[in-house]
Every structure is written in C-alpha cells, then in structure tokens.
Amino acid sequence: MATIAMVGAGYVGLVTGACFAQQSNTVIIIENNPNKINALLEGNIPFYEPDLKEMVTQSLKEKKLIFVSTIQEGLAYNPSVIFSCVGTPSLPNGAADLSYVKKMAEEIGQHLQDHIVIVNKSTTPVGTTRMIKKIILDNLAMRSIDIIFDVASNPEFLKEGDAINDFVNPDRVVVGTDSQQASTILFDLYKPFLLSSDQFLCMDIESAEMTKYASNVMLATRISFMNQLAHFADLAGADIEQVKRGMSHDRRIGPHFLNAGIGYGGSCFPKDVKALIHMGKEYRFPMTLVQEVDNINNFQRVWFINRMHAYYGPTLSKKTIGIWGLAFKPETDDIRGAPSLDIIEDLLQHDASIVAYDPIAQNNISERFGGLINFVANPSHVLIQSDCLIILTESAEFLRYLPSDFLHLADKVVFDGRNCFDPLKMANAGINYYCVGRNNTASKRQQQTTMRSSIDRKKNIINEASF
C-alpha cells in the first residue's frame, strides 16, 4: 500500500490511477479543471474506456481515489511517487508541446517539501525527464532549500479500448532512472501486476524515453508498409490478405499490425511519428524512413477519397453517403486523427449528404459537425437510407452483416477502408465492392473456380468413358 499522485485526469492519468487504486493504494489525482473533477465525482468519465467507469466509481466509494485541483494540495498528502500524465499535443511543426510538463515541474519545485519520485509518464521527447529535474532544481534554488528527489521515465503502453487489460496484464513495464531507490519504489508499486520480475525493464532515462517512440513508430511502420504493399498487390493481381497470411506464419514477423486499410489514426501514432521526425531534425539526423511512414499514411486517405470520386464523378453531390465507423478504431469514442474526419470534410465540401453510425463515437462527431450529418440508431438504418456505404472501422457488429444485406443500398456500392468482407462473396451478391489490396480477388477466384469446374468436368468424362 502506498500513496501516489497523478498530475492530470486525462486518459493516461485516469486509467493509471484507477488501476493503482484497485491494489489498495491511495491515489491522489490532480486536475485543475473543476468541471472535470465534479463530473468524475458523479461517475461521468470524459471518454469511453471499457470497465473504467465501474473502477473509478468503486475506488471513489472506498476513498482510494481522491481528486484535488492543485499540485500543492496533492503534495500535502505526502505521496511517495508523483506521475506526470499531462498532455503533450503536437505543435504545427510536429514537435511535442511541453508547456504543461514545464508548468507541472515548476509547481512541484515551488511546493516540494520532502523526498519524492517524480515519474514522467507522458509521451515526451528524449531529454524531457532530465529537463523536469533541472526545472525542479532551479525552483528549489530560488527557495534556497535543498531537497533530495529522484526522477524517472515510465512510458505508458495503453491501447485505447483495452487499456485496463494492458495495465493489469502488461507485456513489460519500462522504467528509466539513475536512482536505485526510485527503481525499487517503482518495482514494488508495479509488482502486483507482474507475472515475472523479468517484465520490469529498468534502464537509463534516455533509453526509456526512446523506447516509447520506437515501439509506436515500429507499429505505424508495419501498417504503412502493408498499405503500400496493398497498392502493389492490386497492380500485380495479388491478394494482400493472402500475402499477410503467408507473412504472419513467420515467427520473426507474426500477425499483428499487418492489416491493410485506410491507415492509422488516434492520439498516439500520428503524434509520435511526427515527434520522432522532428527530433531527428533537432539532432540533424533526418528520420527518412519515419517520414515515409507518415507520407504513406496521409496518402491512404487521399487515395481512398479519390477512388470514391473516380466512381461517382460529378454526381457525388446528389448522393447520400452512408458511413459505418467514426472513431479511429473500434471500442473507443476517440476521433483524434480518425480517417472519418477527412472523409466527412471532403463529402461536405462536395455537397454530399451523410448518414452515419458508430456505436460509441457519434456524440464526438456531432459536436464537431453539428447538424451537417444525419446520425442513425443502428447500421441497418444507414444501409436503408444511403446510396453507397463507406466502412471506416472494423467494429464487431459490422462484421455480422451478410453480403445480401448491402443490397439495401440504392447503388449497391461499398467502399471498405478496413477489408471487412470477402470480395468474391460481395461480387456474387451483386455488390460493387472496393477495398484495399484485394480488388482483383473476386475475378481471380472466379477464374480459379471456373478452371476447377472445367477440370472436374473433364475428369467426369474420362471416368464415364472408362466404364
């Protein structure tokens, strides 16, 4: 049992705090937005994450989760660890905005009274944790006091929609620190979630900070690689799903993050890719591969939109376009970096009507686009009211639909940005189906079926003649 503090009641701070509170720790969450605190105290979570509301509600009842509005109030509880979980949004040049991090460090330096471990959990450029330490030391010097404290980097690896499971069943816990005491304190804090001490990876601060970027950009690279390969597959007459199947059986590669589609989105991959590109410029070492990952991802959306325009031409303005999926991925309401934003913007610019459905993210899209979009209660209503359909997430409820269900679309056209359905089955049902890297699949498999039928007929003739 420990008393710990979280600066920031955003996604990382709230998930981390709720999970630590479940282990009988007392967690002080510092949030300077009083409206957010009041909403949380009433059980209203500002974003969707499965099971989080129940965890927060339970911890509040047990008084294991406490909300305060200032760092000074948080430090008054004498926490042994304080986690920085403040936002680090992208600046126009791709760099991470560290203004919240700096302000947090200044306030800690202004009010620190005793030893504490200050942990940077926000995703920040290499060097940020040492910057935090310097800011605190400078503020202590202005107070003419000398307090020993430790700093550490502890990047988060939480997938939206599965964040709680990621926290309580981690692949690894990465900690960067120069202090054995800090390492021991953090190991004891994370120990209830570890199956083996080998999962606790302690390293130098800079390596821990870089590990976060390296991990996310590697996953983004796999996605962009498959998306570029998917275009080649269409030109060469291959099926990217079969290519993926052949690749994924190689244990060195595996099956994860090999899905071709409209590209990645969300709050992490786009931001971290751009931040690593910017860091490369600062160190005068251009991250050319990472830059191309970003270029390919941006191209995917342009390509998808152009395909739609190529099909409809000038008649698009007269069409009602249905959209399944508005968040950047299933099981979240997060629309940051979502492909739907670019698609909707383009459709509205071309005076198309939009009918949309998402199981979770509709309110967030509504706040952005207001009455310009007609939201409906279920996927079927989209099909009935639309000329064509655009699929932007692979939500489980979408996958339950049959090819014949899409006959409700007036034009019998589907633009699938997530390769949710079998091209041959869609073609056999009479649907014009456009996907990513599988656009020759239906005709090729139909030819193979015809060839097999011809061979089978010849075999039957030979067999009958032998009697």
The contacts of residue 151 (CB under 8 Å, 6+ apart) are 117, 118, 119, 120, 129, 130, 132, 133, 136, 177, 179, 182, 205
H runs (alpha helix) in 191-268: 205-236, 240-248
Spot the catalytic one: 19, 85, 268, 388.
Answer: 268
Q: Which two tokens stand for residue 298?
A: 């941006």
CA distances (Å), 457 to each of 19, 444, 452, in order? 64, 20, 9
Closest to 99 in 3D by CA, of 107, 349, 73: 107
- The alpha-helical segments, DSSP class H, found in 255-354 are 269-282, 288-312, 339-349
CA distance 338 to 263: 9
DSSP, collapsed to helix, strand or coil, labels residue 337 as: coil
Q: Which residues contact 150 (CB under 8 A, 6 or more apart)?
A: 115, 116, 117, 118, 177, 178, 179, 181, 182
Torsion 41-30-14-46 (CA) sign = positive
Which residue matches tokens 């099971």? 51
- Residue given tokens 């998306």 in the structure block: 227
- How is residue 384 written in tokens? 């009935």
**Sequence-ordered list of residues with C-beta below 8 angstroms from that of 294, at least 6 positions apart, any chain:** 224, 270, 273, 274, 277
For the question of residue 268 being annotated catalytic, the response is yes
Catalytic machinery residues: 268
